[in-house]
Amino acid sequence: MKKVYKSSLYIIIKNIVYGICGGGVAALIIHIWLDLIPSIVVGTSIGLFIIYLAVYADNIKLIIENEKLSIYRFSKLKHEFNLSEVSISASIKTTYDGAGSDSDCYLTITKSENKVERIDCSMLGVRRFYRMLDDLDINNGEPVKIKTKKKEK
């Protein structure tokens, strides 16, 4: 069965808002040194670049089909892996601030010849990333207990 995972519309929209706000802040800061029109042009350019990254460049699509994992960026196939020939691990780092939370999701694929590919899957969003990990059969293991020692002061 074919499973397709695309970038989250919520994350794309959030990054577009960040691009608009970033361009505005850049224009205000640049206006300290330049006139109004050049600062607006530079700020708009910065904002449009951030929006370009959010909508097109960082856009990712992953397809799991017939024991193959295909990864597309810029609407072009960037990587294709045979799942029986690779080792896959994942990491998620979530940060919290006044604006909410942001998660960085990474898929690490180790090929049989010890070549490692680290794929940034943050544009999928955490929920889709977890669903993909379930379909890759990564999340099904039992938790491992780790013994810890409390350091005495």
pLDDT above 80: residue 33: yes
Q: Which helix (H) or strand (E) holds 86?
A: strand 86-97
The pLDDT value recorded for residue 111 is 84
SS3 at position 135: helix
Question: What pTM value is reported for the model?
Answer: 0.74
**Looking at the predicted structure, is the pLDDT value of residue 132 above 70?**
yes
**pLDDT, averaged across the chain:** 85
Helix axes 36-52, 9-30, angle to 10 degrees: 160
Asked whether residue 117 carries a pLDDT value surpassing 80, the answer given is yes
Q: Please name the residues in contact with 86: beta carbons below 8 A apart, sequence gap of 6 or more.
A: 69, 109, 110, 111, 112
Mean pLDDT of the region 122-143: 82
pLDDT score of 54: 79
Distance CA 39, CA 29 (A): 8
Highest mean pLDDT among 19-28, 55-64, 131-140: 19-28
pLDDT in tens, 81-112: 888 888 888 888 888 877 667 788 898 888 87
Categorize the per-residue pLDDT at 44 as very low, low, confident or very high, splitting at 50, 70 and 90: very high
Residues 77, 62 contacting (CB under 8 angstroms) = no
